[in-house]
Every structure is written in C-alpha cells, then in structure tokens.
Amino acid sequence: MISDLHIEVSARENISYLKKAYYTPPFKVADIREDKRDPTLQLMLMSSSPGVLDGDEYRMKIELEEGCSLSLETQSYQRLFTMQTGASQHLSLHMADNCSFSYLPHPVVPHKNSNFSSRNKINMEKNCSLIWGEVLSCGRKLNGEEFEYAKYHTITEIFIHGKLIIKENLLSRPSMDQVHALGQMEGYTHQASFIFLNENADKETIKRMSFEYLTQQEAITSGVSAAPQSGIIVRILGNKAEQLHGILKKLAEIVKETL
C-alpha cells in the first residue's frame, strides 16, 4: 500500500502552527502542544497499522516556512513485519531560513525476514537547527528473533545551502554480515545514531558535554564526533532499545541547553 504524508508549518507572531496536513491511511497527525504560547509546534505522527507490512511504501514530505520550529514525535515502536518482497520509506524535509526541527522516533523492531529500505533527504537553509536520531534493535529479542531480519537499509543525506554536508549509510544484512565481528556490533544487539547541527552552536562545548554524559551511562559503547558544520554526530551500541531512546532524548536536552 502506498501511503502519503504532507505537512506544512508556518509561523504567526513567532509561534509556529500547522498550516497544512494531508495524509492517507495508515497515517494520522495530532497536535500535542499543551501550551499554545509555546513557539515550537509539537506534532505526533500516528499510524492505524500495527506496523510496516510487505509491499508498503511510505512517502513523507515536511516543509517548514521561515522562522518555524517543529518537534515531531512518534506514537510507538515501529515494527517491520515478515516480508517476501520488502517495504520502503522516503522522507523529504525542507527547512527555510531560521527554522528548527527535532525528530527522535521510537526504536525500529525488524521481525524475522523483514526487508526495509529508507531514504531521508534533509535540506537546510540559513541559520537552521536540526536534531535527528534513530534506534535500530536486533528484532524481537525475547521471541528468539535476534538478527533474523533479511535487510535494513537507511540512507540519510543532509544539505546546507544546497551542499551535501552529511551522508549516513546504514546497511545491515545479518545473514550476510558478521554482526558480532570487530568493527560491527561486537556483541551488542542495538545501535543508535544522533545528529545535531546548528550554525551558531559551540561544537567543542557540545562535544564535551555529550561525551561527559555518555561516559556515565552503563552497558553501552559510544563515540562523539564533531560534524563538518557546527554540531556533533553520535554513535551508540547497547542492548536495550528503551535505554538508547532515552539517551537520545537526553542528548537533545543537552544540546538545547548550549544554545
């Protein structure tokens, strides 16, 4: 099934609001902002489907007009069900000048023989701020489906003023790769990534504060790198999806405090 989502956000008196929301099943969008005076629009992306099914194609487009701020959340874990042909998702994000966008979706749980590909294209203009994260689990661990999915492939490209700044290419094929080998998962079962970009950020301060926080967390291995532009890129290995998702949300709080 082909499913479309199109969100447009505008601003009035420095308060962002939902200008347009078009979606087809199983997508739904809800405004969850409690304080209407909060300049940041908070939206929850919901789905009436229990998860991504074989043959599904998700097409998502998000546009932020100048001076907008959007925090997009998800309702629950994204389950990728058993597949024969595969499923895909394409997300396009455009941020005009002076915009901010935050997206830390719930962890992905790929079931046995699932095959999923995702492509994210992010375009940022002048003086924008981006918080972006992802958590991938090994599958239904308690059901004995550890690394039994066929393929998980996600490509994220981030452009600033039309120039490619970051390209992340995550490809996991457990039946073909030595997932526990040196340089791969190394005995861990879950992985997470976190990207923060802001032209006005002090990346050395952010890098130091993020590293100090991560070193205090138990049962994980992590690394923090300075991004090509002002910001950081974080990679984390662990064994619990909820823990890694919580870490990403805390990192988001840390980087916001430095602005």
The helix/strand/coil state of 153 is: strand
Dihedral over alpha carbons 90, 96, 99, 102 (to 10 degrees):
0
Each residue's pLDDT, cut to its tens digit, for the chain (259 residues) gives 899 999 999 999 999 999 999 999 999 999 999 998 899 999 999 999 999 999 999 999 999 999 999 999 999 999 999 999 999 999 999 999 999 999 999 999 999 999 999 999 999 999 999 999 999 999 998 888 999 999 999 999 999 999 999 999 999 999 888 888 877 898 999 999 999 999 888 888 999 999 999 999 999 999 999 998 889 999 999 999 999 999 999 999 999 887 7
Per-residue model confidence (pLDDT) at position 232: 95
Per-residue model confidence (pLDDT) at position 184: 84
Q: Mention every residue, 6+ apart, whose C-beta is less than 8 A from residue 252.
A: 102, 104, 131, 133, 194, 196
Per-residue model confidence (pLDDT) at position 222: 96
The DSSP output letter for 51 is S
For 218-239, the pLDDT digits (tens) are: 999 999 999 988 899 999 999 9
The helix/strand/coil state of 150 is: coil
pTM attached to this predicted model: 0.95
Residues 207 and 23: their CA atoms lie apart, in Å, by 38
For 127-167, the pLDDT digits (tens) are: 999 999 999 999 998 888 999 999 999 999 999 999 999 99
The 8 Å CB, 24+ separation contacts for 13-16 are 14/39, 14/67, 15/39, 16/40, 16/41, 16/67, 16/68, 16/69, 16/70
